[in-house]
Structure 1
Amino acid sequence: MQYRRALDSGACYFFTLTLENRNKEYLTQNIDSLRSAYSKVIKRYPVKTIAIVIMPDHLHALWQLPVNDRDYALRWRLIKSYFSRSLPIDEFRSTSRIAKSERGIWQRRYWEHKIRDDNDLQNHINYIHYNPVKHKYVTRAVDWRYSSFHKYVNSGALAVDWGIDAVNISIDAE
């Protein structure tokens, strides 16, 4: 059976994109290049970024697509491509990747999940913001620099100490 992606125009999606080599920290070490690639693509193909976290070896994002637009795959392909091109070629590349003129930075596939309802949305926002704590990079979500958590705090939607008592938050996303 072949996997079929959800492709609904104007829908809200949760994504996980991962580096090919999970031992590399390309994303946080090259955060300016990633931000540049992201901004360049989102400017040309707008989406609303509801929440995002950049980890050293993967990222999670929640996007609301525009009405009559379902092409998140194009956006992610371009973001991955622009980011990869900004880095020197020093990674292992398989014969297959070389033949296809691909870099070996990203895993070819990524995870997407269509958000079902407000509860599902909130669970995924929580998951994104708690991810640096889950992976033990920090003990408090506020201490991770590469997260939309700070925008939520600045807007008053979350408290600075959110997530310290993980028992009281839902982090049941994928």
Structure 2
Amino acid sequence: MKGLVKFEPSSYYHVVNHAVGSENLFRSDENYRYFLRKYAQYMPSVASTICYCLMPNHIHFLIRTMEDEAAQTHPKFKGDFHKLVMQELSNLLNAYAKAYNKKYGRRGALWIDYTKRFKIESDSYLTSVINYIHQNPVKHRFTKDLRDWTYSSYGSLLSEKTTLLARKEVIRWFGGAKEYANFHTSNIAKLLEEWEY
């Protein structure tokens, strides 16, 4: 099924999940910050993060899974790489949902039942997905300029502050910080039309 591929070692994946029904995942700045703290607790043990964008009712991440050799020494590895990554992803989403439900006095599921994951298998696809993820707030009309959206990795990748993002890899991929910024500000309409999630 499209969007439900298995995680494999040393591979890039576009990961997407959505709130159930018409729910929002994030109601305040603190919600966004808390989610990122939980992300930093679970995901770096199984993948490096290329970029991300948190939207009010859905999330996008582009990750590169760990090497197979590293997985062998992971304390939770039981012989199935896909299950290892899914377990950490599930731990992240469940931990956030539990805290969110407690804070807002709600019950039941917060996330849809499955996390979509699309394997990136070409250089052009990788470049487009990075741009697509950062353009998501523009696409959904939350802002007219991606630089104004706080909860994406766009600005962090240009910053010099400490980060868990694979900053050097991304900037090098685009040929430099200037080229990275220029790519994001050119052909926006065309690139957004090409992608639908």
Partner of 2:5: 5
Distance 1:26 1:170 in 2: 27
CA RMSD of aligned residues (A): 2.6
> Which has the larger share of helix?
2
Runs of 4+, deviation exceeding 6 Å: none
Structure 1 residues 25 and 33, CA gap change in structure 2 (3 angstroms): same
Q: Is the 8 A contact 1:153 1:160 kept in 2?
A: no
- AA aligned to 1:64 is R
Partner of 1:90: 105
Aligned-partner SS, 2:191: coil
Distance 2:25 2:4 in 1: 30
Aligned-partner SS, 1:170: helix
Q: Which moved further from structure 2: 61-70 or 47-56?
A: 61-70
Distance 1:56 1:144 in 2: 12
Unaligned segments of structure 2, at least 5 residues: 72-80, 160-170, 172-176
Aligned-partner SS, 2:50: strand
1:166, distance to aligned residue in structure 2 (A): 1.5
Partner of 1:151: 156
Aligned-partner SS, 1:150: helix
Distance 1:158 1:152 in 2: 9
Partner of 2:146: 141
Count of aligned residue pairs for this structure pair: 161
> 1:78 aligned to 2:100?
no
Superposed CA deviations along residues 152-173 of structure 1, whole A, max 9, x for unmatched, are 3336153279336514x63434
Partner of 1:14: 14
Query: Among the aligned pairs, what percent are the same residue?
Result: 20
Partner of 1:98: none
> 1:36 aligned to 2:37?
yes
Q: Is the 8 A contact 1:52 1:61 kept in 2?
A: yes
Distance 1:52 1:109 in 2: 18
TM-score by length of structure 2 reads 0.71
Aligned-partner SS, 2:180: coil
> 1:125 aligned to 2:130?
yes
Superposed CA deviations along residues 75-103 of structure 1, whole A, max 9, x for unmatched, are 2101101111212163353xxxxxxxxxx
TM-score by length of structure 1 reads 0.79
Distance 2:188 2:4 in 1: 34
